Chains A and B, each alone.
Chain A
Amino acid sequence: MERDGRSLEDGATISGDVVVVGAGPAGLAVAWSLAEQGTKVIVLEGGGLQPDAESSALHEGEIVGGVLPTTAGDRTSLTEITAAGFGGTTQLWAGHIQPLAERDLEPQPFHDVGGWPIGYDELKRWYDPASRFLHFGAGSSVEEARSRSGLPEPPDLGDGFGEALVLTRVYSFADEQRDAIVEHPNIDLVHHANVTQLRTDPSGAVVESAEVRTLDGTTWSATAPKVVLACGGIGNPRLMLASTDHHPAGIGNDHDLVGRYYTDHPKAFGWVLASSLDVTAWEFLNSSAAHDEQVDRGDGVMVTRTDHVYLRLADDALSERGWPWAQAECFFTPGAPTDRRAELAGIDLLGADAASMAVVVLTTEQPLDPDSRVTLGEDTDELGRRRPVVDWRVPDAHADTVADMARLLGVELGARGLGRLWDATDRLRIDLGTFDANRVIETIELDPPPAPDAALQWRTSYHQMCTTRMAEDPGEGVVDADCRVHGMDNLWVAGTSVFATGAGYVPTLTGVALALRLADHLRAAS
């Protein structure tokens, strides 16, 4: 069932077996999985069943530190990277899923803290259920999806490049999931219900209620023996830091770790590929008709956009160099004027063989930084809650690593006769909000005036991770391997905020896999 939180009486208390705070993909995965097994679940969602501006404004906050803003230089809104309402951040989601690799979970030299406290096999077994929950069909692996689709094999770029394909569905998760949730007899979805704080018993170890305030001014509470936070990488620490009745520094924050290690997959723009590849010959990558057919069938298979090719540096190559995960996204530019492409590829080394040109974006895992964090500011929202302050930091040394990665990419492409890479980091300035690779090629200056600051520009991948990271040691993380908040008896966290590291790309599938695993754990613990 679903109801509007504004319709509950002031001072009311509602009860269930489990309270889930947040109706994004992770929260809904926990709720649905538990409900299917007979557990009565209350889901509290601050927004509505459809997005609305008033609820969205409650996500607004302050951005400091200079890495965000996210797109155009004058945009500083957290509402650009988070979303209120049913479906949560899937409203902003490109519909990509990709499982992590085994290496992603291992301790890495570029992090000052340990790796994931769970083994890869433990995570992997939840990928297929997560894929089904996200309506991607039976299998989460590219190989299975390719097999189902009957699409041709993709080009094999040889050693040095790893699997770079992602599964994509262009669809609305919220629209497809809504009926299954709101009609579920064991789910009580209460929307427009914003949780202001979690109240604990005097020991501070047991959450007794989630306190709710609505934009109509009513206040009420929800209680259950178990509480799961699933408000996202910014919302989870925001609520934990605001829950101070028996925890002056915030719930679960005895080690001052809640909100720290804020991590994204920083994107660096600045390279151009003059390639001998005729991407129109990549039938597999241009199978938009096949894609539409797949979507219609509900199988959800598409590998990439027509003009968009992923090149992923192989895990072995990365491990050998002690580098984090990295992927090059090549935005080919079939629409750029031919003479302009010829001018830019005017190195003439490829000459007429420069069949195509791409703007290259390097997306990477970033080293964890405890000073990259979410805190609470002094400003408050319409409900009196302190707004979040996001200070996303990318360590300076990471820029050097990315420059080295670009060099390796240039070498690997050259060695295969696939093209030459041009480092244009001193002349490319990208506005993601209006990003058009063809336009970039059209306007890039060959001889720009010296840039006052040629430092790499980091851009967001719209991923917010690690702010309640998972670690066995309470001194290194906020939740344990079961996603239970250290020091708390009945509080768990779901979603990408529990990631121990940023790891590989596109976190939604892994976030949902961990949420389903958490539901299984909660069921077993009953």
Chain B
Amino acid sequence: MTHPIGRRRFLVATAAVGGVSAVAGCADDGTDDPAPDGSTDDGALPAGLAAIGGGYLEANPKLTEAELVEGLPAGVDGTAPPTLQLDQAAEAIAADFGADRVERVNGWWLSTTEARICALGVMRA
């Protein structure tokens, strides 16, 4: 059984592949990292994610919840807090960038998966 890689650890790992010590003070102790912004595991949608989700929905007003879920990786269905879902989707997010599946939302160049997770969070909020 494999554990979903923490997003923070994913960032560290991918950066380390490139020879960069990426995040100061990030201990690789084998435990799940705390939520990145410290306030997300309670299910609240951080303002930044809400803005991304809102922006994505504004640009895609006809998207239904079912269509959003359909485009997400297995197990990422909007039932867990968005920050955790982003962690779970880390590999899919990296794959999006690798395959040029990106969206420009509120000026940010983002992976389609992360934009959709944010949009789902807004719909479910």
Contact = CB atoms under 8 A, between A and B. Distances in A.
Given A347-B51, A414-B109, A415-B97, A353 B20 contact: no
B122 to A, nearest CB: 13
A355 B11 CA distance: 11
A420 B22 contact: no
B102 A282 contact: no
Contacts of A352: 8, 36-38
A346 B48 contact: yes
A414 B49 contact: no
Given A278-B23, A417-B14, A346 B109 contact: no
Contact of A417 (B35, B94, B108): B94
B7 A353 contact: yes
A346 B47 contact: yes
A50 interface: no
Interface in B14-59: 14-15, 17-24, 35-38, 40, 46-49, 51-52
Residue of A157, A280, A282, A414 contacting most chain B CB atoms (<10 Å): A414
Contacts of A276: 11-12, 15, 22-23
Contacts of A407: 102, 104, 109
A441 to B, nearest CB: 15
A411 B49 contact: no
Contact of B21 (A158, A278, A422): A278
Contacts of A423: 104, 107-109
B52 A353 contact: no
Given A278-B24, A351-B36, A352-B37, A414 B18 contact: no
A201 to B, nearest CB: 62
A280 B25 CA distance: 12
A277 B11 CA distance: 9
A156 interface: yes
B72 interface: no
A158 B13 CA distance: 14
Given A349-B48, A350-B36, A355 B23 contact: yes
B8 to A, nearest CB: 5
B20 A347 contact: no
B86 A349 contact: yes
B83 interface: yes
A350 B49 CA distance: 10
Nearest to A426: B107
19 contacts: A153-B19, A155-B18, A158-B17, A278-B24, A282-B20, A347-B51, A348-B37, A350-B36, A351-B40, A355-B24, A407-B109, A411-B97, A411-B100, A411-B102, A416-B14, A416-B15, A416-B18, A420-B110, A426-B107
Given A352-B38, A424-B107, 20 more contacts: A155-B19, A277-B20, A278-B24, A345-B48, A346-B48, A347-B108, A348-B36, A348-B48, A348-B49, A348-B52, A349-B110, A352-B36, A352-B37, A411-B102, A414-B97, A417-B22, A418-B11, A420-B110, A423-B107, A426-B107
